[in-house]
Amino acid sequence: MNNTGDTAFILASAGLVLLMTPGLALFYGGMVRSKNVLGTFMQSLIMISVISIEWVLLGYTMSFGPDIQGLIGDLSWLGLHAVGSAPSQTYATTIPQNAFMIYQCMFAIITPALITGAFAERVRFAPFVIFALLWSILVYNPVCHWIWGSGGWLAARGVLDFAGGLVVHLTSGAAALAAVLVIGPRRGFGKQSFMPHNLPMTVIGTGLLWFGWFGFNGGSALAANGIAATAFVSTHLAGMAGMAVWSLVEWLHRGKPTTLGAASGAVAGLATVTPAAGFVGPMSAIAIGIIAGLLCYTAVSLKSRIGLDDSLDVVGIHGVGGVIGTICLGVFACKDINPAGADGLLFGNPVFFGGQIFGVIVVGAYAFVVSWLLLKIINAVMGLRVSAEDEVTGLDLSEHSETAYS
Amino acid sequence: MNNTGDTAFILASAGLVLLMTPGLALFYGGMVRSKNVLGTFMQSLIMISVISIEWVLLGYTMSFGPDIQGLIGDLSWLGLHAVGSAPSQTYATTIPQNAFMIYQCMFAIITPALITGAFAERVRFAPFVIFALLWSILVYNPVCHWIWGSGGWLAARGVLDFAGGLVVHLTSGAAALAAVLVIGPRRGFGKQSFMPHNLPMTVIGTGLLWFGWFGFNGGSALAANGIAATAFVSTHLAGMAGMAVWSLVEWLHRGKPTTLGAASGAVAGLATVTPAAGFVGPMSAIAIGIIAGLLCYTAVSLKSRIGLDDSLDVVGIHGVGGVIGTICLGVFACKDINPAGADGLLFGNPVFFGGQIFGVIVVGAYAFVVSWLLLKIINAVMGLRVSAEDEVTGLDLSEHSETAYS
Amino acid sequence: MNNTGDTAFILASAGLVLLMTPGLALFYGGMVRSKNVLGTFMQSLIMISVISIEWVLLGYTMSFGPDIQGLIGDLSWLGLHAVGSAPSQTYATTIPQNAFMIYQCMFAIITPALITGAFAERVRFAPFVIFALLWSILVYNPVCHWIWGSGGWLAARGVLDFAGGLVVHLTSGAAALAAVLVIGPRRGFGKQSFMPHNLPMTVIGTGLLWFGWFGFNGGSALAANGIAATAFVSTHLAGMAGMAVWSLVEWLHRGKPTTLGAASGAVAGLATVTPAAGFVGPMSAIAIGIIAGLLCYTAVSLKSRIGLDDSLDVVGIHGVGGVIGTICLGVFACKDINPAGADGLLFGNPVFFGGQIFGVIVVGAYAFVVSWLLLKIINAVMGLRVSAEDEVTGLDLSEHSETAYS
Amino acid sequence: MKKIEAIIKPFKLDDVKEALNAMGIKGMTLSEVKGYGRQKGHKEIYRGAEYVVDFIPKVKLELIVEAEQVEAVVECIRQAALTGKIGDGKIFVLPVEDVIRVRTGEKGKDAI
Amino acid sequence: MKKIEAIIKPFKLDDVKEALNAMGIKGMTLSEVKGYGRQKGHKEIYRGAEYVVDFIPKVKLELIVEAEQVEAVVECIRQAALTGKIGDGKIFVLPVEDVIRVRTGEKGKDAI
Amino acid sequence: MKKIEAIIKPFKLDDVKEALNAMGIKGMTLSEVKGYGRQKGHKEIYRGAEYVVDFIPKVKLELIVEAEQVEAVVECIRQAALTGKIGDGKIFVLPVEDVIRVRTGEKGKDAI
Ligand SMILES: Nc1ncnc2c1ncn2[C@@H]1O[C@H](COP(=O)(O)OP(=O)(O)O)[C@@H](O)[C@H]1O
Ligand SMILES: Nc1ncnc2c1ncn2[C@@H]1O[C@H](COP(=O)(O)OP(=O)(O)O)[C@@H](O)[C@H]1O
Ligand SMILES: Nc1ncnc2c1ncn2[C@@H]1O[C@H](COP(=O)(O)OP(=O)(O)O)[C@@H](O)[C@H]1O
């Protein structure tokens, strides 16, 4: 039977997660040069179309359809066959199944959009769209099934991921690393400095992302209950802690706390707590946010050393965040907080901790390898990069025949 | 008895629909020249004041008050008399009536705001406000009663409109057409090109509109139930399909997919599915979005030919969207999806299909004629257009003594 | 027992109130010069970190913990000890206590952020952070306990404040006045004019604030019931009335209605109705909005006369709004609307009216004096103002080593 | 060769450009400037207070032309930019000693 | 007639404008420019990395004055723009051959 | 002393700046301008319609140099700004009568 409160909560959450995609577009768009802002937007926005269509036709059944060997869902829900407004027997049994389906769709949309920050300002639109579509089918859907699909093999091995540390942040972070290696740096990288063209835009994006994250993590309880409240609280506390720590570290390290630093720390904290949100208490969430701020700041600072042009720090924030969040869950998880969860290292359960690390290795390796192959193939077939001249002109004009401001 | 889940859902939806008005201001504001952005904002924002006051005093009882001859509500709820937090016996019987009242208020606000895109950059503030007020009383309230008021004559003839294809989009689209004819083109139309001054602003607006549309269509189920989930899903799928198709067509037609094209296609899809959202299945919703993208793109392209300066394409997107959405409902409606709905042509029910076309003709003609007369009269009495000099200076300075950026 | 509808509603409301802080940052940021926009943002954003950490460790138990003499909560909930997802016996008994805790946290965050508008463009980041932290502990928490904490002495004397006219708006307004006196005007105040650098940004902020205010006032019913609907309606109506009146008065007084005027009137109406939202009927809410528009406009206009540089009019809008809203509640409150409330002067209850005035005097005086002392001390110890040169350079570069636009 | 600098009202730019094209002038550089002069600035309102903004947006055209063209070009710009109202702007003629085209290195007349 | 171009610190603009008004100069054109010179640029931080931005915002004033006024105007601007710190800017004096007022067609002195 | 005005492609600015530094030129002023000339403008699409925007973003460099440096500086800029494609820009040389440093009041050569 559908519960009105749970239904209201999940539909609201689905709306919030959808809002994160334009939010991400703004977050990224503010950081690029003004000649690339629309191109950067488009790479996120078009995911709403490309992935939604993929999801309703194929992705949902691959991810959540009846299990095959723990590896993938079968095709019995192809094109949403038999997915109506009656609740599912397996997932979110108190809300219409199409509400659950569309809520999950929003996760599938934003995940490839996250990757785009890694190769900002230099990739052609067409090959990107093809990459994102194939990536979603070959990387997102399987990993989603392994962890969230009933019968998924990683879930069966006890790996936990409340709202997407592995499924969303690590997969996109690993793909981002592959993309940086395959696509290479922007022209003038190292010589010129590429300063953000519009930091207020990035701040608006951060605000919308934070707001949406409540739906992303809170909604992952799939009901308006105590776990949802716990996840909501963890999300907020890790976000605020990440923001505080990044600002502070930058203050000590560089002499000033920056606005972009605060925004980056917030996103780092929010991303890192994602896998743990509904499984840990508030003090653990704060600890996770602090760790996130420290390690992501370090990762981002190191990056410049090794000369990788992960332009908007997808690896340093989402990749690293997904890894440490999943491992932190192995440390801080507590059954008193969520009986459906597990006890972590802190609560004397090294087995679960080991399982989380196993999950990180499996998902990270799988996502990286498949992404790398996909990018190599697409690059060989049609070329991922814009021409040197187009890169100088900027994506807005060369790829979309538009100018952002006039 | 008030149901907490339904109440939470409708209040949240009312908030979302309110947010659409600033969203629309941004969507439109980004497309005008920088000297007119504040004037464009104000035409949307002030509707929140003008229409809200009209609605609580008069509009609500005209639209939803006890029926007179199927034509209009009587005045027994004047000034919200007897409209309290107890549920209505007639409408949304599981939530406080004042929640239903304020939710409907948000629809009344955004409808005249939609019209403003047609005569952007050239109309005086004062006569516009008077027009909007009278238009709401003479066009919006009656049409709203005919279709959504209990006893409304179009509803009685079986015309369906889930969330406002006729009540919101066709009325505003028809008024927009009248306005374009009465007010005429901007100075230099055809000679100069009027490029958008800030496309990122338009993208922010699109994001907020999409987000709000979940409340607009989802909330129109008036309860947090399966129909709400169905409407939510249809909304998202039609929006994403409209975005995909418009981008694709523009790509083939002009060589590049544009950001504004993606945004326009999304709004076209969202507007077009509005009347159908809670009555059709997901594949039908996708079909509706595809049709919307194709036909709205065509309409907008033709416009320039016939030399009408529907500046921000209200006719081409909301007018056309309202018409084809209402007709598509006549085709795709399915009782298996919503027993309270109807079966469409596809499901062997030409009668219902005919009724929808009848609804389009009646509402389109009524809205166009009354709007045209209103505009003619107001124009004669006080003049709708700013002076040539003020048009050159821009609305921001001439009408509001402000500069947007400095 | 947790009610799903109430839980969904309060979590959604908590998200909305969080969104108000970036909304405020945009509202303020658009009004400053472009060299100070990031510095202005940071003063709001960092509150999310500083106050959240303070709240979970200390603030929540000080405000809502078991009462000591009606003055303050004891420390039994220090660090959220015993605050879990089971409902509280005292507050919001149908939702998880941690949901109530985080919802209240959002109020604590935005209150000191409101103050920053008073001393925009001239204060150092470090001393501001210290001030905000101490202010929250010494002003916000006690006042919050007096009025909303069970056993609070002002509550015991029958003082009512639905969503923060005293707790949020008057405390911040009084602190703003103290800050203006202690810190003094910007360089060139009176000589130069400081025009807003980006009014569209201010409009975006206004839209988000209005949207968030539904959670701020509606959520203060702490359940998805008729009172929530009543508060939601009052909020919208006072906001729209404030916007209408400010625009109109400015039109008559200066010859044009301005966009910033509309935005300011909206915020004035929304702030003023805050203490009354759940206790008054719709017509009273409109009256309150009208009074707010008139008096706040007057206050803001007078300010310039007496040469105080309350840069973004925190005193004139939030201080004055908090005062008149609380007093208006003493006039318009009505038990037919909310039995848990009171009858006001209009309904023949001068005692309650007197009590409200008493509340205003006590809270206003307390907040002003403590804020003034705090600012004096911090100023003496570390200096609140940036150097003359840094003020010329702007906060973005001098305090954060960033440039907003490039 | 001479340099002509013309300060005109922004909305006249298109007319001026067309007029110059019509007479075969194919190259120019323009920039957005703010002007101060006889033309009164506009009033702005900020929270119920009035301010006068006395720097007015103008467009500045810079063209290098051959000495013998100066007369004609100046007159052409003047006609196209004329509204007859205060603030129509000014045209300055300055001496130029040399012109070089980056692409080819051509100098003088050929570089224009 | 001469053209005076002054590159000054933006926050000094109001003072300079007032000083010029005081001596009866009623017309000028200004533009926002970026300057590069002895004055060191400022440091910016981007995600924990430091960059130096060495183009500094300046305001460029352009005024046409009669030859005999040049001395006085230059000194007036200098006084008003002076802070004594590096980066105060420069004033250039260029020859002008003719000035035309668009509105009236007046030439030379009368056009200023 | 002479004034050199160079109109170049924006993305060449860094190269030009470095080249000038290399030859000891430490001062310049630059502004964003729009150029119109042989180089064709770009196409923009607006709701399915096509427009050509024929004003192209350029950067304008202004430097005052001593007469004897002009040759060298012009050549230096030309080399650094060269792409060989249409639209590379122009360099103008104008006479300057005097230069004053605001900070010190120094005149002529010393003020550069
Ligand atoms: N002496 C001057 N030097 C430089 N620019 C000037 C001078 N006088 C006027 N201008 C420019 O010409 C524009 C128009 O001049 P103004 O006196 O307002 O009108 P008009 O040229 O019709 O008399 C001014 O806005 C300013 O940009
Ligand atoms: N040779 C030059 N040509 C053109 N502009 C110059 C030149 N030298 C300096 N400037 C301008 O003057 C400004 C101030 O010069 P700078 O050397 O920084 O300080 P100061 O003038 O006090 O020595 C520079 O930012 C630049 O805009
Ligand atoms: N006669 C002119 N006067 C002023 N600026 C000019 C003139 N001709 C060209 N320019 C400037 O030089 C730029 C490059 O000129 P263009 O003719 O496009 O290419 P090229 O210099 O390679 O022939 C133009 O964009 C414009 O800014």
Pocket around ligand 1: residues whose beta carbon is below 6 Å from it? D 7, 35-39, 56, 58, 86-90; E 27-29, 62-64, 101, 103, 112
User: D63: CA distance to ligand 3 center in Å?
Assistant: 9
**Between chains, do B85 and C259 touch, taking CB under 8 Å as contact?**
no
Instruction: Tell which phi-psi region holds residue C69, choosing left (phi > 0), alpha (psi between -120 and 50) or beta.
Output: left
Is the pLDDT at C289 greater than 80, yes or no?
A: yes
Pocket test for ligand 1, best of D12, D60, D90, D93 (most atoms within 8 A of CB): D90
**Between chains, do B401 and C255 touch, taking CB under 8 Å as contact?**
yes
pLDDT attached to residue C66: 98
User: E85: CA distance to ligand 2 center in Å?
Assistant: 12
Q: How many CB pairs under 8 A join E and F?
A: 79
**Between chains, do A224 and C11 touch, taking CB under 8 Å as contact?**
yes
Q: Could you tell me where the DSSP H helices lie in C217-349?
A: 226-254, 259-273, 282-306, 314, 320-332
CB B384 within 8 A of CB B124: yes
User: D58: CA distance to ligand 1 center in Å?
Assistant: 10
pLDDT attached to residue B1: 86
Could you tell me which chain C residue has the CA closest to the CA of A9? C8
Could you tell me which chain F residue has the CA closest to the CA of E79? F102
Q: How many CB pairs under 8 A join A and B?
A: 171
Query: Do chains E and D touch, with touching meaning 3 or more CB–CB pairs less than 8 Å apart?
Result: yes
| Residue E33 touches chain C, beta carbons under 8 Å | no
pLDDT attached to residue C237: 98
**Between chains, do B304 and F46 touch, taking CB under 8 Å as contact?**
no
| Residue C401 touches chain E, beta carbons under 8 Å | yes
| Residue E92 touches chain C, beta carbons under 8 Å | no
Is the pLDDT at C354 greater than 80, yes or no?
A: yes
**Which chains have 3 or more CB–CB distances shorter than 8 Å to chain F?**
A, B, D, E
Distance of alpha carbon F97 from alpha carbon F110, whole angstroms: 14
User: D31: CA distance to ligand 3 center in Å?
Assistant: 14
| Residue E17 touches chain D, beta carbons under 8 Å | yes
- Count the alpha carbons within 13 Å of A3 in the hemisphere toward its beta carbon: 17
- Count the alpha carbons within 13 Å of F80 in the hemisphere toward its beta carbon: 25
| Residue E43 touches chain D, beta carbons under 8 Å | no
| Residue D2 touches chain E, beta carbons under 8 Å | yes
* Paired tokens of A271: 């991303």
- Quote the minimal CA–CA distance from B396 to chain A in Å: 17
| ipTM exceeding cut-off 0.95 for this assembly | yes
**Which chains have 3 or more CB–CB distances shorter than 8 Å to chain C?**
A, B, D, E
Instruction: Tell which phi-psi region holds residue B124, choosing left (phi > 0), alpha (psi between -120 and 50) or beta.
Output: beta
Could you tell me which chain E residue has the CA closest to the CA of F111? E90
**E101 phi and psi angles, rounded to 5 deg:** -90, 120
Is the pLDDT at A281 greater than 90, yes or no?
A: yes
Distance of alpha carbon C293 from alpha carbon C250, whole angstroms: 10
**Between chains, do C201 and A198 touch, taking CB under 8 Å as contact?**
no
| Residue F53 touches chain A, beta carbons under 8 Å | yes
pLDDT attached to residue C305: 83
Ligand nearest, relative to CA of residue E30: 1
**Between chains, do C49 and A207 touch, taking CB under 8 Å as contact?**
no
CB C212 within 8 A of CB C163: no
Going by the DSSP 8-state scheme, the letter that residue F68 receives in this structure is: G
- Quote the minimal CA–CA distance from D33 to chain E in Å: 5
- Quote the minimal CA–CA distance from C231 to chain A in Å: 20
Is the pLDDT at E112 greater than 90, yes or no?
A: no
Q: Which of C2, C3, C10, C11 to mutate to test the interface with A (most CBs of A within 10 A)?
A: C11
- Count the alpha carbons within 13 Å of F79 in the hemisphere toward its beta carbon: 12
**C90 phi and psi angles, rounded to 5 deg:** -105, -45
Q: Which of A1, A45, A78, A130 to mutate to test the interface with B (most CBs of B within 10 A)?
A: A45
More confident residue, F49 or A326: A326
Could you tell me which chain C residue has the CA closest to the CA of D53? C193
Pocket around ligand 2: residues whose beta carbon is below 6 Å from it? E 7, 35-39, 56, 58, 86-90; F 27-29, 62-64, 101, 103, 112
pLDDT in tens, C217-268: 999 999 999 999 999 999 999 999 999 999 999 999 999 999 999 999 999 9
Distance of alpha carbon C185 from alpha carbon B341, whole angstroms: 64
User: B300: CA distance to ligand 1 center in Å?
Assistant: 43
CB C247 within 8 A of CB B105: no
D112 C-beta closer than 6 A to ligand 3: yes
pLDDT in tens, A252-278: 999 999 999 999 999 999 999 999 999
pLDDT attached to residue C78: 97
Which E residues in the span 83-112 are in contact with D, Cβ-Cβ below 8 Å? 94-103, 105, 111
pLDDT attached to residue C216: 98
pLDDT attached to residue A307: 84
pLDDT in tens, A90-102: 999 999 999 999 9
Mean pLDDT of chain A: 97
pLDDT attached to residue A304: 77
Ligand nearest, relative to CA of residue F61: 2
Give me the mean pLDDT over the B321-334 stretch: 98
Chain centroid to CA B339: 26
Contacts of A347 (CB under 8 A, 6+ apart): A333, A334, A335
pLDDT in tens, B237-258: 999 999 999 999 999 999 999 9
**Total residue length of chain C:** 406
pLDDT in tens, B266-281: 999 999 999 999 999 9
CB A57 within 8 A of CB A136: no
| Residue C260 touches chain D, beta carbons under 8 Å | yes
Residues of C in contact with E44 (CB under 8 A): 397, 401-403
Candidate from A187-196, B137-146, C65-74 with smallest mean pLDDT:
A187-196
| Residue F54 touches chain B, beta carbons under 8 Å | no
Could you tell me which chain E residue has the CA closest to the CA of D77? E102
Contacts of A152 (CB under 8 A, 6+ apart): A67, A70, A145, A146
**Between chains, do B260 and F48 touch, taking CB under 8 Å as contact?**
no
pLDDT attached to residue A94: 98
pLDDT in tens, E24-82: 998 999 999 999 999 988 999 999 899 998 899 999 999 999 999 999 999 999 999 99
Q: Which of F47, F52, F53 to mutate to test the interface with B (most CBs of B within 10 A)?
A: F47
Candidate from A288-292, C177-181, D41-45 with smallest mean pLDDT:
D41-45
- Measured by CA distance, the residue closest to atom 26 of ligand 1 is D35
pLDDT in tens, B206-231: 999 999 999 999 999 999 999 999 99
Pocket test for ligand 1, best of E28, E31, E59 (most atoms within 8 A of CB): E28
State whether the Cα torsion F9-F15-F17-F23 is positive or negative: negative
Closest CB to D14 among B192, B397, B400: B192
pLDDT attached to residue F26: 87
User: E19: CA distance to ligand 2 center in Å?
Assistant: 22
